[in-house]
Amino acid sequence: MPFQKFIDYLQLEKNYSKHTILAYQKDLESFLEFNQTHFEENSIQQVNYSQIRSWIVSLVEEGLSNRSVNRKVASLKAYYKFLLKTKQIEINPLAKHKALKTEKKLEVPFSPKEMKEVLNDMQFEDTFEGCRDKLLIELFYATGIRRAELINLSVSDVDLGGQTIKVLGKRNKERFVPIPSLCSTLLKEYLAKREEVVNEASADCLFLLKNGHKIYESFVYRTINKYLSKVSTKLKKSPHILRHTYATHLLNNGADLNSVKELLGHSSLASTQVYTHNSMAELKKQYGNAYPRNSKK
């Protein structure tokens, strides 16, 4: 593979998930194939910006959204940054490229009522699988961790006495996230039922399938979608929306933005600020209900 060293770099140094690395690989292969077809160019390192621009135009003409095109170009840009870093090229042909304009994507969090209906009112089976599924939802909502972070949790990462979990985030950055009493109680129950299925291969993996194997990304997504679909008509029902819900509900209830940043494992405050949109909407609603001059009486 012409970019194997870059793939190794993403995996070993950047600690990206398999899903993300595969996306990068496909984007680079797509660009290489385009250049081989249209410019008889077999090396991504040798292309210029006009060739890249032709690729971008072709993607748009194929009907890809600006957001999808930007994601593909971002893969290419990351590769050129790697080549610069390893001194394989002297100039980044994408250094002055400006991303295509996109509409701001607003992700709608679940309401407190919807979360209550899932976690308080819904009946989960009194089995290993029922307990695990409820804990998946509870832990996402109680901690705001990412899907990959949850999948890679170990039993040793759980501190029931201190009511915290140790999370290994992006770029191998560790953080400790508090868990509420209800979540801690459910964790104890799950750990007891987990003994029914655990085996040597998955001895320290926290979340398991009923056959004792470690859970995986699509399984987590299907589980979240399955249960949230019973209480919500929102189009998007995913682990990320639960993370979004966690942050929004914290901010709505007065949590400090910097504290939420640390809990989410964000490296910059700008990443956390995207969650303030819904909090501002809630604040305006409360203002409208409470401010005397808004009264129609």
Measure the N-to-C terminal CA separation of the chain; round to a whole number of Å.
72
More reliable by pLDDT, 172 or 195: 195
Whether residues 181 and 216 share a domain: the answer is yes
CA count, 13 A, side-chain hemisphere, 15? 10
Whether residues 43 and 178 share a domain: the answer is no
Other beta carbons within 10 angstroms of residue 50's beta carbon come to 9
* 240 contacts: CB under 8 Å, gap ≥ 6: 107, 146, 147
Classified as helix, coil or strand, 167 is strand
User: Quick one: how far is CA 198 from the chain centroid?
Assistant: 27
Strands (E), 44-186: 158-159, 164-168, 174-178
Burial class (CB in 10 A: 0-12, 13-18, 19+), 227: buried
What does the DSSP assignment read for 218-265? HHHHHHHHHHHTTT---S--SHHHHHHHHHHHHHHTT--HHHHHHHHT
Single pTM value for the model: 0.65
Whether residues 118 and 160 share a domain: the answer is yes
Query: Does residue 176 register a pLDDT over 80?
Result: yes
Considering the domain boundaries, does residue 93 fall inside one? no
Considering the domain boundaries, does residue 59 fall inside one? yes
What CATH number has the domain bearing residue 70?
A: 1.10.150
Considering the domain boundaries, does residue 292 fall inside one? no
Which helix (H) or strand (E) covers residue 28, if one does? helix 18-38
- Digit-coded pLDDT (tens) for 222-238: 999 999 999 998 888 99
Whether residues 81 and 119 share a domain: the answer is no
Using an 8 Å Cβ cutoff, are 224 and 136 in contact? yes
Domain that holds residue 25: 4-85
- Digit-coded pLDDT (tens) for 140-167: 999 999 999 999 999 999 999 999 999 9
- Digit-coded pLDDT (tens) for 234-268: 888 999 999 999 999 998 888 888 898 999 998 88
Using an 8 Å Cβ cutoff, are 206 and 195 in contact? no
Whether residues 194 and 277 share a domain: the answer is yes
Classified as helix, coil or strand, 216 is coil
Classified as helix, coil or strand, 201 is helix
Considering the domain boundaries, does residue 128 fall inside one? yes
| Residues with active-site annotation | 146, 170, 240, 243, 266, 275
